[in-house]
Amino acid sequence: MNLLENLKPTFRTASGETFAYEKGRCAGKYSYKSEKLTGSLTVSQESFDNLSAVRVKASVKGDKFNADCAVALGIPSLGELEGYFGNYQSCNNWCRAQFGDDISKLNPRTQALLAKKKSGGYIFILPVVDDTYKAQIRGAESGMEVFLFSIVSTLSGCEQLAFVYGEGDEPYKLMNDCAKLAMKLLDNGATVRTERRYPEIFEYLGWCSWDALEIRISTEGLLAKCEEIKEKKIPFRWAILDDMWAECDKLRDIPDDLTRETGMFTVMHSSKLRSFEADPKRFPTGLKDCLDKMKEYGLKIGVWHPTSGYWSGIDPESELAKKYKDLLIECPNGKLMPNPELDKAFLFYNAFHDFLKHCGTDFMKIDYQGFIVENYKEVKPIGQAARAIQRAISSSVGAHFDNDIINCMGMASENMFNRPSGAVSRCSGDFQPENREWFIRHILACSYNSLIQGMFYWSDWDMWWSDDEQAKKNSVLRAISGGPIYVSDKIGRSRPEIFEPLCYSDGRILRCEAPAIPTEDCLVSDPETNGRIFKVKNLYSEGGVIAAFNLDSKENPVSGTVSAADLGIDGEVAVYEHFSGEVVILGDGEKLDVTLKDHDDFRLYTIVPVKNGIAMLGLIDKFNSPLAVREDFGGVYDLYEGGKLAFVCTDGREISVTAESGVYTTAKDSLLRVVELPLSDRHFRLG
């Protein structure tokens, strides 16, 4: 498909004039001339096997381009569609999934589009953010359009890559190939996920202060949580001091009755940063003393701050503002923010991080990265501002914290395409404790956002509570997510048993190597209305895992199948359901029928190949059981530590397990063979 074949281009000026080209196309070149204005537009396409890259070159004399839409490329049709998934910005910071078959109804802030054709195969369109303009997709009266905007009305030229697209039968490969091509053509120092380094700190279980302490975070509260962790012997290896720790103008005197319901967020979001130091009332001995004491419990410490300093920027009356006035800028909305020039932004973040490093901070969580459109409109083009801010953050975090960072509220494509380093990014809005409706919004956001964001970063599925009503479901999602696993349990409420299926005794998690994403049969159909089970998958070196849920909006029963094909593998496999302990052997191409009666009915399937009559399930007291076992040379298996070892024998042989602690026999003729190995066991052999 050539998307330019029936193209209907438009350009708009700052004074409000619109020029649409319906006819007169000549080799992708369009021109306009009047007494006042002269405009030209060239749309070109370069092919790369089954992929294409579309570039735009436009100029106007006698006016400037519109800040919100400089050029729009109308695409009347993608052909007859079975359905599509659109990844759109629900706000400046977060994205959601849209499903449909009518492209004219696409959300006006769509950042990626995957469409399945009725004739077979997929089309993927990925708008990009180049060095000046940002491209997005939106529905139009006839079809859809890719439009470019800069957030400033001072530009009379536009020359850049607009989007890449392609067709293919393998949707995951198609999407990742488009992402790789886009980053190659942008050549801006950023890259795709597979070329980034996952931080070692996030290979371990963690805790975050946000839902636990919220606005009343303090040295006293943090140390009380550390004591609980020690007493309960929970193997947390890191902790984050989240929002509210800093000294801000409106956080000095917090009313006793201030809660989420009585205006906490209003106070937060209207507050301004006064100092790099912690709030003196809640941290009377300073941030460094607090972190030093927390580290006595064996924790590495991360500290949160937003890109803007604090939610409403820097307090102009503070000593901080006076000291760093040359690095700050008053935005058109009146807020004092880091200047979006690379050198000035870097010096501000570098000073902040110098202080945090001196206090003992080990890694960063940097929030509110989608702040550019809201704060820098008419200050600097969106591509330039995003690139400067992201390079400044990355340079400082790289220098101080070895690129160990959780990026947050940064799903806007201007962030996604411009981070030169950093491997982890949040993929959903905030966890809502004790909220059943929230869970469905959360799993949909994380799963489908990971299809797009996961091409560039590992997804952080956010913190959760181990004593929440839906703790087990949340723990399953985090286990297969491929990203960090951390909770925000309140003081006294952590449940050690909830963490046992997620990690080893030292807190190291059993982590999949890629982000979890929906299976192919769930890609372009709404899980809340299609009457089918919703499946999220991840892969192991051999086989993989599928979590199946009922997300029906009316909580009706839903049905579907689970198979090796969902993971892209073939041949005979063993399918083990974690919670029931049931095992099924599926031949090549066979499927397991599944019905889930309501929202509380969910399954976790481990699928591993059968080789010579054996399928190794690993340590089935862990959700990602096969990750606990690695087959070495000579039939010896390596373990990180012992546990409930299980494997499947399809031919009824008598098989023993020879481990360092002794020889264990298994029940002959039993399909599932299980032995309990001491934690000290590191190797075993089947015989």
CATH code assigned at 382: 3.20.20.70
Locate 68 and state its tokens. 């919100």
Q: Which of 446, 515, 456, 445 shows the shortest CA–CA distance to 96?
A: 445
Count CB atoms within 10 A of the CB of residue 188.
Answer: 19
- What average pLDDT is seen over the chain? 96
C-alpha separations of 156 from 61, 160, 387, 449 in Å: 7, 14, 21, 34
Torsion, Cα of 392, 397, 402, 406 (10° steps): -110
Query: Residue 619's CB: how many other CB atoms inside 10 A?
Result: 23
Q: How confident is the model at residue 679 (pLDDT cuts 50, 70, 90)?
A: very high
Task: Judge if 634 and 579 occupy the same domain.
Answer: yes
What is the per-residue pLDDT for 634? 75
Q: Is the pLDDT of residue 29 over 90?
A: no
Single out the residue in 462, 484, 499 at which a domain terminates: 499
Q: Residues 178-224: pLDDT tens digits?
A: 999 999 999 999 999 999 999 999 999 999 999 999 999 999 999 99
Give Cα 437 distance to the centre of its chain.
21
Q: What is the chain's length?
A: 687
Tell me what pLDDT residue 32 has: 80
Shared-domain flag, residues 400 and 264: yes
Residues 72 and 117 in one domain: yes
Judgement on whether residues 111 and 238 belong to the same structural domain of the protein: no
pTM for the predicted model, two decimal places: 0.97
Rounded CA separation 623/617 (Å): 11
Query: Based on the domain organization, do 313 and 459 belong to the same domain?
Result: yes
- With a CB cutoff of 8 Å and minimum separation 6, the contacts of 266 are none
Other Cβ atoms within 10 Å of 587 Cβ, number: 10
Clarify whether residues 44 and 86 are in a common domain: yes
Backbone dihedral angles phi then psi of residue 207, each to the nearest 5 degrees: -135, 145
pLDDT tens-digit map of 295-322 = 999 999 999 999 999 999 999 999 999 9
In the predicted structure, residue 592 carries a pLDDT above the cut 60: yes
**Do residues 345 and 218 share a domain?**
yes
Does a structural domain hold residue 199?
A: no
Strand-pair category, 122-127 with 157-168: antiparallel
286 plus 152 within the same structural domain = no
- Note the Cα 679 to chain centre separation in Å: 34
Amino acid 252: pLDDT: 80
Sign of CA dihedral 405, 409, 411, 416: negative
pLDDT > 70 in the chain, percent: 99
Task: Annotate 141-172 with b (16+ C-beta within 10 A) or e (fewer).
Answer: eebbbbbbbbbbbebbebebbbbbbbebeebb
Q: Give 75-133 pLDDT, tens digit per residue.
A: 999 999 999 999 999 999 999 999 999 999 999 999 999 999 999 999 999 999 999 99
Average pLDDT of the segment spanning 539-551: 97
Q: What's the CA gap between 646 and 578, in Å, rounded?
A: 12
100 shares a domain with 74: yes
* pLDDT at 539 exceeding the cut of 90: yes
The parent domain of residue 595 ranges over 527-686
Task: Please list, in sequence order, all residues whose beta carbon lies within 8 angstroms of the beta carbon of residue 183, skipping any fewer than 6 positions away.
Answer: 190, 191, 192, 417
| Helix/strand/coil for 25 | coil
| pLDDT at site 22 | 61
User: Measured between alpha carbons, how far is 378 from 380 in angstroms, rounded to an integer?
Assistant: 6
DSSP single-letter state for residue 286? H
pLDDT of residue 17: 86
Asked whether residue 194 is assigned to any structural domain, the reply reads: no
Q: What's the rounded Cα separation, in Å, for the pair 377 and 332? A: 7
Query: Locate tokens 């030292």: which residue?
Result: 506
Measure the CA–CA gap between 42 and 54, rounded to whole angstroms: 10
Interatomic CA distance for residues 444 and 429, integer angstroms: 11
The predicted pLDDT at position 668 comes to 82
Mean pLDDT computed over 583-590: 97
Rounded to whole angstroms, the Cα distance separating 339 from 442 reads: 34
In a domain, 505, yes or no: no
> Pairing mode, if any, of strands 592-596 and 629-631?
unpaired
C-alpha of 451 from chain center:
9
641-678 pLDDT per residue, tens: 999 999 999 998 899 999 999 999 998 878 999 999 99
C-alpha–C-alpha distance, residues 468 and 233, integer Å? 20
Res 2: pLDDT: 92
At 1, the pLDDT band (50, 70, 90 cuts) reads: confident
pLDDT at 26: 52
Tell me: do 563 and 486 sit in the same domain. no
In a domain, 517, yes or no: no
Question: Average pLDDT in the 226-238 region?
Answer: 98
Residues 219 and 345 in one domain: yes
401-442 tens-digit pLDDT: 999 999 999 999 999 999 999 999 999 999 998 899 999 999
In a domain, residue 404? The reply is yes
Confidence of residue 240 (pLDDT cuts 50, 70, 90): very high
Residue that the structure tokens 């020029």 belong to:
19
Residues 6+ apart with CB under 8 A from 617: 574, 576, 606, 608, 625, 626, 646, 647, 648, 672
Position 340 scores a pLDDT of 98
Q: What is the DSSP string of 91-124?
A: SSS-EEEEEES-GGG--TTEEEEEEEETTS-EEE
Query: For the chain, what is the domain count?
Result: 3
Residue type, 63: D
pLDDT at 27: 57
Instruction: Give the angle subtended at the CA of 545 by the CAs of 544 and 551, to the nearest 5°.
Output: 145
Strands 363-367 and 300-306: parallel
Residues 6+ apart with CB under 8 A from 26: none
Angle at 105 between CA 100 and CA 107, to 5 degrees: 95
pLDDT of the residue at 34: 81
Last residue of a domain, one of 448, 479, 499: 499
Residue 83: per-residue pLDDT: 98
Helix (H), strand (E), coil (C) string for 316-379: CCCHHHHHCHHHEEECCCCCEEECCCHHHHHHHHHHHHHHHHHHCCCEEEEECCCCHHHHHCCC
> Please, what sign has the CA dihedral across residues 178, 183, 184, 185?
positive
Taking a C-beta distance cutoff of 8 angstroms, is the pair 458, 481 a contact? no
Poorest-pLDDT segment among 8-12, 331-335, 605-609: 8-12
Q: Which of 160, 187, 214 is the last residue of a domain?
A: 187
Residue in the block written with tokens 């089954």:
50
Q: Do 365 and 446 fall into the same domain? A: yes
pLDDT over threshold 90, residue 23: no
